[in-house]
Amino acid sequence: DTGVSQDPRHKITKRGQNVTFRCDPISEHNRLYWYRQTLGQGPEFLTYFQNEAQLEKSRLLSDRFSAERPKGSFSTLEIQRTEQGDSAMYLCASRFMGRDRQFFGPGTRLTVL
């Protein structure tokens, strides 16, 4: 059981830089979610993919954020021109079609200085 993996686990960047995170879901899972979690809060939904199609984006996903899932397998989340307010844990989750349970990765902790 390989689980959901995320890379990197930690990222420190300077304000204004671009960052990209990667999520590898469980191999047979065709549904993929990105969430963001700030300190002391529960995770907040960012975006959803069904296979390679991005079907839903939260209002939290400003135009500086872009997510892709080019072949319906791994996904990337890019943040351009990072701001200090982007500092958070970015979580990826996946699930199999027809099943309710979401499997979460360990997250990528972003710190913007």
Q: Is 1 in the site for other proteins (CB under 8 A)?
A: no
Nearer Cβ to other proteins, position 14 or 101? 101
Taking the C-alpha atoms of residue 27 and residue 38, their distance in angstroms, rounded to an integer, is: 28
CB of 45 to other proteins, least distance (A): 5
Structural contact between residues 108 and 10, judged by C-beta atoms closer than 8 angstroms? yes
Stretch that binds other proteins, among 12-20, 39-47, 69-77, 78-86 (CB under 8 A): 39-47
Q: Is 2 in the site for other proteins (CB under 8 A)?
A: no
Return the residues of window 3-32 that contact other proteins according to CB under 8 A.
4, 31
Taking the C-alpha atoms of residue 56 and residue 50, their distance in angstroms, rounded to an integer, is: 9
The residue within the footprint of other proteins, chosen from 44, 74, 76, 80 (CB under 8 A), is 44
Return the residues of window 51-80 that contact other proteins according to CB under 8 A.
55-56
- 19-to-16, 42, 53, 79 alpha-carbon distances in Å: 10, 23, 22, 5
Taking the C-alpha atoms of residue 46 and residue 104, their distance in angstroms, rounded to an integer, is: 14
CB of 75 to other proteins, least distance (A): 15
The residue within the footprint of other proteins, chosen from 20, 22, 66, 103 (CB under 8 A), is 103
Structural contact between residues 106 and 19, judged by C-beta atoms closer than 8 angstroms? no
